[in-house]
Structure 1
Amino acid sequence: MIIHQVVGKLAELNLGHHHGNTDFTIERVILSWDELHKRILRKTTDVGREIGIQLENGHLHPGDILHREGKHVIIVEVKAEAVLVVSVGTMRNMGLAAHAIGNMHAPVEITAETIITPYNSVLAVQLQKLGLETQVENRPFAP
């Protein structure tokens, strides 16, 4: 099966429960954060189906529906990977962290209190030398 475009978002589906069962059968293709930005991929879903992805434009996001046939969907999921979570709390710390991470050209997710980036031991040491609190976690990362 070759996928040429995203056909919807998981959040748009009515995933109501009837007698403990969901209305949809969900098959997952699990990608790393850097695979989300690739337009051409060959992957195997969680049930062993081989699929090719050749997007005409754009890139993938967690929850994208790649294929839908009746009540069966194939969705994009992001696998858990080691990330560096930097607590920033103040504008000064945000600036220090953003500058150091930017110098490494690393992708980021930004929340109200943290900057999250793929784990890099050199970057972790540099941030700690700046007095920033860092923590390594294993979780999905989707910048």
Structure 2
Amino acid sequence: MRPAWTVTATVLLHRDGRWLLTVRGADVDDAAGQLGLVGGHVEHPEAGSGVLEATARREASEEVGLDLGGVALTYLESEFFTTDAGAGQVSVAFVAAAPADAEPRAADPAEVAAVGWWTPDEAASDRRCPPWLPGLLGRAAARAGL
């Protein structure tokens, strides 16, 4: 039998040299209380063409209240890792300019305790920053031409 894993899609949104990051809720299963990205698991109804992009857009709406319907998502990278709970996960990351006419908000405080805009240096110096995040922000900035 093949091992099973979940698939997630994330989107790194930038505006004015800053990146939209979340502070994960204290009671979430993975990376509680850490800085994180907007994103989440692929759900069955999203099956079909563009499933990862649809997931990233849905999660932006659900987690931070942003409509990315007209926003171009640019593929950044994918990776396989093991979550804090020991589960395998494939994650696909996209980069996009945040809509200028909307401000993000923590839509579900149990999942996302707070949202904010960080420079890569600010994120790296934050005690809640996981070790992989500064490098990812650097690669995202390069991909976005920032």
Q: TM range, normalised to the smaller chain?
A: under 0.3
TM-score normalised by length of structure 1: 0.22
TM-score normalised by length of structure 2: 0.22
State the structure with bigger RCO (CA 8 A, min sep 6), 1 or 2: 2
Higher strand share: 1
